[in-house]
Structure 1
Amino acid sequence: MKKTVKVAFAILAVAVMFTAQVQAQSQEKYFQPGKKGEFYGSWGYNKEWYTASSIHVKQPGLNNDFTFVRVQAKDKPGWDENIFKQAISIPQYNYRVGYWFKDNWAFEVNFDHTKYQVKQDQLLHVKGTIDGKHVDEYRRNDDLANPQLQYQLNNGANFLLFNLVHRKQISNFHQKWFNLSLLLKGGVGVVIPHVQNTIFGQDNDQGFQFGGFCIGGEAAVRATFFKYGYLEFCNKLVGAHYYNLKVYQGRAKQTFGCYEMIANIGFSVPLKKYKS
């Protein structure tokens, strides 16, 4: 009996060792992206939805200190019309550049050119001090010829994030030329908006400026083809705080959240050759 048990355990041990060896050899047949020392880069386009945001305006020379309460805004994709008849940087674009400093762990520079426009067809709640007088009232904003508020971060709300990235293997479907991965990203950064607005008929001096800070998290599914090219679909959440934004004779600040859907095409550059 004891001898039989010993033989059974010996057979089991050999079987386990053989299975592990076969699995290891099987894995070697398929490439795994995200190896240490690999660089990657991508370009793509995005679509945004914004939370309501209160815009606080201070114009000391005009004796104004008021807030547009919970303003609604939208994006302007640009890629949904005549995309092949304009520069690739006109629509809402994004790019990523990353480096895998450890297997399945990367550092990434992540930039999203996103456009933010206050909707014209809404009733604005204005609260605070205007011309030294207290106000708490609603004003129509649907007169396109003379809007109360025309407010845009239209050459970009522009999120620049520095992300830590972790890759999780999904499947290669037993194909040597294909790999499907899940990438989880999180980071902090700055916003570099292009500020353009007209408030109560008064225009600002529009232009790019440092505008504040942002934090974001992203989940992306990356399909890699023939080891070096990939397609990526991302869902992303961003929280952004803007301050000292230029308005006529004053400054504005606001905080909003953003949900993004992003599609990228990219490439990988490994420092060492993949095993085949």
Structure 2
Amino acid sequence: MKKSSIMIFALLFGKKVTAQEIIPKTITQPKIAKSLFSKDIKRNFSRQGEWFFHWGWNFSWYDTSNLNFKGPGYNFTLKNITAKDRPSKLSTDYINPLELTTPQFNFRFGFFIKDNYSISLGWDHMKYVMDIPQTVKVDGYINSTISNPAIPTGAYAGVYNNTPLTVKADMLKFEHTDGFNYVSTELERYDDIWVAKSQKNMLTMETGVGVGLMIPRTDVRLFGVGENNFWNIAGYGISAKAGLKFHFTRKFYIQNTTKVGYTDLSAIHTTGRNDIDKASQTIRYLENFTALGFQF
């Protein structure tokens, strides 16, 4: 009986060992997306599950825009006004931790939901300065006094019907200089252009679309009355971008990106009397920024 039990045990154990030996080991391969630029996959690793952030600086250009002012005793629109950005002069502000938000800057962090797609949250700190003086056409009316308490308007009082008017400093100062802030969520796609054999260096094209809130700090003087207003949610923006990202190591990269955007600001603060005075404006812009980043 003992010998029979030993033989049965040995037979069962032997079968188990044999079965374990023939089961192939499964190896999980990284899911690497194909690039628009090549049918061959040149990377041996996936970006999925990684995080990134970058910081950089921008220049921006603005299309002409209609700017409406509305309140007690006035409702007028300045048509096709021109404006420009205001980049800081080259100084230690660009690297001083206490002054990093003074220049026009870009900050963004995100997560790769797939090898070639990420979702991110960021802040584009642009600046918008209306050219003064400039001659524009005006629609609407301006009474001899406006707002409450009353602000005299002098020679600017009148009814306007597509009437040419030279806007001077005694009438208006208008700037989103602290700044023209676009806080957005973006969806990005990545396509490899070149990958080094070492897998440490690569050049990638980045494209993306975004949507977000416009939170300007607007500095206004309307007929001499106003202030550098506090930040407020003034409207929304949408954007699209394309650029190049160069990894000089697996983790560190530099990128240059161009972005086009449309913004609708319907609640701009002006004189500081926010319950009664406001402005509205739609702005189309072109932005280019260069940033240094880290991926992990």
TM-score, with length taken from structure 2: 0.75
For residues 174-233 of structure 1, the C-alpha deviation after alignment (integer angstroms, 9 at most, x for no partner) is 443201101111021111100110122221461110110000001120001220000000
- 2:236 is the counterpart of 1:224: no
Match of 1:47 among 25, 41, 59: 59
Deviates more, 1:228-237 or 1:124-133: 124-133
Superposed counterparts of 1:176-191, under 5 Å: 176-191=199-214
For residues 13-70 of structure 1, the C-alpha deviation after alignment (integer angstroms, 9 at most, x for no partner) is xxxxxxxxxxxxx967x555x611000000000000001111111112xx10111111
Larger radius of gyration: 2
Match of 1:254 in 2: 281
Match of 1:131 in 2: 143
Once residues 165 and 84 of structure 1 are traced to their aligned partners in structure 2, the CA distance between those partners, rounded to angstroms, is: 27
Superposed counterparts of 1:26-41, under 5 Å: 30=43, 32=45, 35-41=47-53
Distance of aligned partners of 1:190 and 1:156 in 2 relative to their CA distance in 1, 3 Å threshold: same
For residues 158-182 of structure 1, the C-alpha deviation after alignment (integer angstroms, 9 at most, x for no partner) is 0111111111110014443201101
TM-aligned CA deviation for residue 126 of structure 1: 2.5
Match of 1:117 in 2: 129
Distance of aligned partners of 1:216 and 1:85 in 2 relative to their CA distance in 1, 3 Å threshold: closer
The answer on whether the counterparts of 1:140 and 1:148 sit within 8 Å (CA) in structure 2 is no
Distance of aligned partners of 1:31 and 1:166 in 2 relative to their CA distance in 1, 3 Å threshold: same
Once residues 270 and 159 of structure 2 are traced to their aligned partners in structure 1, the CA distance between those partners, rounded to angstroms, is: 20
- 2:82 is the counterpart of 1:72: yes
Once residues 95 and 48 of structure 2 are traced to their aligned partners in structure 1, the CA distance between those partners, rounded to angstroms, is: 40
TM-aligned CA deviation for residue 116 of structure 1: 0.5
TM-score, with length taken from structure 1: 0.80
Match of 2:14 in 1: none
* Equivalenced residues, count: 237
Identity, % of aligned positions: 24
The answer on whether the counterparts of 1:115 and 1:156 sit within 8 Å (CA) in structure 2 is yes
Letter of the 2:294 partner, please give it: F
Distance of aligned partners of 1:126 and 1:209 in 2 relative to their CA distance in 1, 3 Å threshold: same
Distance of aligned partners of 1:229 and 1:174 in 2 relative to their CA distance in 1, 3 Å threshold: same
Residue aligned with 1:230, SS: strand
Once residues 105 and 79 of structure 1 are traced to their aligned partners in structure 2, the CA distance between those partners, rounded to angstroms, is: 36
Runs of 5+ consecutive residues of structure 1 not aligned to the other structure: 1-25, 270-276
Letter of the 2:201 partner, please give it: F
For residues 98-140 of structure 1, the C-alpha deviation after alignment (integer angstroms, 9 at most, x for no partner) is 1001111110112100001101131133320111852243332
Once residues 215 and 239 of structure 2 are traced to their aligned partners in structure 1, the CA distance between those partners, rounded to angstroms, is: 15
Match of 2:107 in 1: 95
Once residues 80 and 191 of structure 1 are traced to their aligned partners in structure 2, the CA distance between those partners, rounded to angstroms, is: 27
TM-aligned CA deviation for residue 83 of structure 1: 4.0
Aligned CA-pair RMSD: 2.1
Match of 1:263 in 2: 290
Once residues 199 and 74 of structure 1 are traced to their aligned partners in structure 2, the CA distance between those partners, rounded to angstroms, is: 20
- 2:176 is the counterpart of 1:140: no
Distance of aligned partners of 1:125 and 1:258 in 2 relative to their CA distance in 1, 3 Å threshold: same
Residue aligned with 2:256, SS: strand
Q: Of the two structures, which has the highest relative contact order with CA contacts closer than 8 Å and spacing of 6 or more?
A: 1
Once residues 230 and 220 of structure 1 are traced to their aligned partners in structure 2, the CA distance between those partners, rounded to angstroms, is: 13
Runs of 5+ consecutive residues of structure 2 not aligned to the other structure: 1-39, 145-157
Once residues 233 and 31 of structure 1 are traced to their aligned partners in structure 2, the CA distance between those partners, rounded to angstroms, is: 25
